[in-house]
């Protein structure tokens, strides 16, 4: 079996963390007897520098031709990088939005898991951290405010900006189906998050999600307003299993869900379409301040590679091995700077990658 993996190293810490994920994937391939064929794909600031745009048609074609894409991160310092003096559609993030749309990656899974070993790094109350939590945000990724019509123009002499939030029932349905499918394999609970007390799009969201729920009698469905959900995530995150929500709410809630795990450097994510294809990336950003210093935490990217083995290639055992190796390394007390605590052994990016690869 040969896995055709497109690799977007990207900007900032991207190349360093992707290098470590490839190290772990190669070790897994050797152990489990599969082959990997990597194809380099340019996206983000590095693509702007090289080709004058954040994502070329050729890059999209290469991604489409891959079974899956592993991505580091894109973007730079928005205050100082020249990329942010370009018009919005030429900036690094535009490449990311374009690839999501071009590959129809409507389902974005962002796990939020508190590792036993990292409970001390959890910013929540001690008793909340002690209980632990393990939930997934299923964020709709190709609709809503991100892709609605927008404009900035003068109306009656006043500068006016408009963004539009549109969802049709098909977009809602396919996202909901993914959420229920995932919940069925977990603790069988979906919390659908909306703002149905104000927004029409949320009222349609709620209606369609309830229809989908009828096909999953074994899965419990609850509805929660987004402001309440933001509060519940810090108050009692253990209540959640799968949180289903629209694009913008998911963007915001997933950063909050990441922060409570102690470090965004630990969290993987997957963006999926209707096929087995997926784009796998760490939840964290490009962290330009620490780029090139070999101190970034590569675990989120390594866990994203594990998700890829599981979701795209059905290599569950190989994925389990990686996840267990990560837990093992944490148990042994190895930490990158972002998750360092007293009594632990501080390691840099490439040491962390090697430690995990050795423990598969
Ligand atoms: C994310 C990021 C992106 C988003 C940005 C970089 C466009 O914040 O993946 O959550 O808003 O979707
Ligand atoms: Mg975000």
Q: In this predicted model, what pLDDT tens digit does every residue of 1-38 receive, in sequence order?
A: 999 999 999 999 999 999 999 999 999 999 999 999 99
Placement of tokens 């070329």 in the chain: 56
Kindly report, residue by residue over 78-101, the tens digit of the pLDDT: 999 999 999 999 999 999 999 999
Strand pairing report for 134-140 and 107-113: antiparallel
Q: Ligand 1 pocket, 140 CB below 6 A? A: no
For the cut 90, the answer to whether the pLDDT of residue 47 exceeds it is: yes
Q: What's the confidence (pLDDT) of residue 37?
A: 98
CA-only gyration radius of the chain, Å: 20
107 CA distance to ligand 1 middle (Å): 14
Domain 123-260 homologous superfamily, CATH: Isopropylmalate Dehydrogenase (3.40.718.10)
**Is the dihedral angle over the CA atoms 186, 189, 190, 195 positive or is it negative?**
negative
Can 251 be counted among the known catalytic residues?
A: yes
Q: How far apart are CA 195 and CA 5, in angstroms?
A: 38
Number of Cβ atoms within 10 Å of the Cβ of 266: 28
For the cut 90, the answer to whether the pLDDT of residue 357 exceeds it is: yes
285 and 183 Cβ atoms separated by less than 8 Å: no
Can 146 be counted among the known catalytic residues?
A: yes
For residues 143-170, average pLDDT: 97
Domain 1-106+267-360 homologous superfamily, CATH: Isopropylmalate Dehydrogenase (3.40.718.10)
- Encode burial over 199-233: b for 16+ CB neighbours within 10 A, e otherwise: eebbebbbebbeebbeebeebebebbbbeebbebb
Same fold: 1-106+267-360 with 123-260: yes
Q: Where does the pLDDT of residue 265 fall: very low under 50, low under 70, confident under 90, or very high at 90 and above?
A: confident
Q: Ligand 1 pocket, 96 CB below 6 A? A: yes
Per-domain residue ranges for the chain? 1-106+267-360, 123-260
287 CA distance to ligand 1 middle (Å): 14
Can 131 be counted among the known catalytic residues?
A: no
**Average pLDDT of the chain to the nearest whole number:** 96
Q: Which tokens in the block code for residue 269?
A: 């994510």
Q: What's the confidence (pLDDT) of residue 36?
A: 98
9 CA distance to ligand 1 middle (Å): 16
Q: Ligand 1 pocket, 251 CB below 6 A? A: yes
Kindly report, residue by residue over 128-138, the tens digit of the pLDDT: 999 999 999 99
For the cut 90, the answer to whether the pLDDT of residue 263 exceeds it is: no
For the cut 90, the answer to whether the pLDDT of residue 121 exceeds it is: no
């Amino acid at each position: 079996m040969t896995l055709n993996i497109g690799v977007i190293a990207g900007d900032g810490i991207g190349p360093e963390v992707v290098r470590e994920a490839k190290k772990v994937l190669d070790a897994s391939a050797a152990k489990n007897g599969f082959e990997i064929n990597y194809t380099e794909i340019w996206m983000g600031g590095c693509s702007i520098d090289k080709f004058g745009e954040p994502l070329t048609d050729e890059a999209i074609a290469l991604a489409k031709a891959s079974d899956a894409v592993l991505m580091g991160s894109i973007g730079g310092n928005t205050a100082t990088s020249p990329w942010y003096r370009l018009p919005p559609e030429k900036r690094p993030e535009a490449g990311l939005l374009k690839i999501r749309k071009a590959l129809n990656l409507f389902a974005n899974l962002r796990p939020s898991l508190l590792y036993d070993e990292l409970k001390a790094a959890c910013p929540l109350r001690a008793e909340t951290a002690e209980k632990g939590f393990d939930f997934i945000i299923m964020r709709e990724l190709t609709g809503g405010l991100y892709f609605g019509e927008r404009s900035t123009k003068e109306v009656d002499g006043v500068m006016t900006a408009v963004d539009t939030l549109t969802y049709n029932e098909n977009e809602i349905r396919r996202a909901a189906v993914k959420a229920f499918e995932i919940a069925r394999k977990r603790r069988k609970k979906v919390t659908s998050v909306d703002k149905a007390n104000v927004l029409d799009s949320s009222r349609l969201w709620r209606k369609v999600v309830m229809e989908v729920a009828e096909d999953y009698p074994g899965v419990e469905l609850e509805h929660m307003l987004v402001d309440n959900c933001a509060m519940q995530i810090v108050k009692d995150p253990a209540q959640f299993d799968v949180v289903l929500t629209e694009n913008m709410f998911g963007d915001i809630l997933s950063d909050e869900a990441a922060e409570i795990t102690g470090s965004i450097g630990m969290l993987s994510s997957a963006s999926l379409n209707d096929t087995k294809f997926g784009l796998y990336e760490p939840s964290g950003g490009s962290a330009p301040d620490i780029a090139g210093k070999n101190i970034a935490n590569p675990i989120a990217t390594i866990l994203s590679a594990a998700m890829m083995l599981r979701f795209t290639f059905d290599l569950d055992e190989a994925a389990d091995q990686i996840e267990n190796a990560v837990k093992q390394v944490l148990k042994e007390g190895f930490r990158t700077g972002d998750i360092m605590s007293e009594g632990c052994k501080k390691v840099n990016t490439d040491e962390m990658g090697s430690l995990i690869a050795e423990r598969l």
